[in-house]
């Protein structure tokens, strides 16, 4: 599938790499801060563990020239999709796993998250996976609604006890 063809005019999906570590860290930090997280030190370990493995990273960019200070910028990052694999704990099968799907707040509610999720699904099918999964915080109601409309169903609940 051509990465450029399915995006609205002025947007493109660009494949990232392990060289995007600091950019990914910044994006993860933004996503977690929006959800009220205050401790973000674990994100570096997450990136260290999973970015080098069998994972893929894409950046959603808005194209066109804009200015940042005195510098002309050709594109602006407005979203991110980071995929890898995990093991289904019930069946033992390898499955595609969404580590991160993120759209910058001012670009939300325009179908970009839905398109990123469709790209994730297409990638997983192309890789031969029969299932794709993700985790989402219960207070992320917009994401929960999106995932449910896309057919995602609950299969587990994470419980915790503060000590």
Is the residue at 114 inside a domain?
Answer: yes
Tell me whether residue 157 is in a domain.
no
In a domain, 155, yes or no: no
Report residue 2's pLDDT band, with 50, 70 and 90 as the boundaries: very low
* Residue 149: per-residue pLDDT: 95
How many domains would you assign to the chain?
Answer: 1
Q: Tokens 């990914």 map to which residue? A: 24
Give the pLDDT confidence of 18-39 residue by residue, as tens digits: 899 999 999 999 999 998 888 8
β partners of residue 96:
85, 132
What local confidence, expressed as pLDDT, does residue 112 receive? 94
What kind and span of H or E run contains 26?
helix 21-34
- 160: exposed, middle or buried (Cβ count in 10 Å: 0-12, 13-18, 19+): exposed
Q: Is 154 among the domain residues?
A: no
Contacts of 125 (CB under 8 A, 6+ apart): none
N-to-C CA span, the chain:
48
Q: Residue 159 falls within a domain, yes or no?
A: no
User: Would 55 be classed as within a structural domain?
Assistant: yes
Does 160 map to a domain? no
Q: What is the pTM of this model?
A: 0.85
Whole domain around residue 132: which residue ranges?
11-149
Half-sphere exposure of 56 (CA within 13 A, CB side): 17
Q: For residue range 79-119, list pLDDT tens digits in order.
A: 999 999 999 988 999 999 999 999 999 999 999 999 999 99
Q: What is the CATH number of the domain that holds 22?
A: 3.40.630.30
Nearest residue to 56 (alpha-carbon basis) of 112, 142, 132: 132
């Amino acid at each position: 599938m051509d990465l450029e063809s399915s995006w609205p005019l002025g947007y493109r999906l660009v494949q990232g790499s392990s060289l995007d570590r600091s950019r990914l860290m910044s994006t993860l930090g933004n996503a977690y801060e929006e959800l009220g997280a205050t401790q973000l030190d674990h994100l570096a370990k997450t990136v260290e563990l999973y970015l080098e493995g069998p994972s893929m990273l894409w950046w959603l960019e808005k194209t066109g020239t804009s200015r940042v200070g005195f510098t002309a910028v050709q594109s602006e990052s407005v979203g991110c999709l980071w995929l890898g694999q995990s093991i289904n704990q019930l069946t033992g099968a390898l499955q595609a796993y969404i580590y991160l799907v993120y759209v910058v707040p001012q670009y939300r509610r325009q179908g970009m998250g839905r398109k990123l999720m469709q790209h994730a699904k297409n990638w997983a099918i192309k890789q031969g996976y029969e299932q794709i999964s993700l985790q989402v915080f219960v207070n992320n109601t917009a994401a929960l609604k999106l995932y449910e409309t896309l057919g995602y169903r609950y299969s587990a609940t994470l419980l915790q006890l503060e000590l």
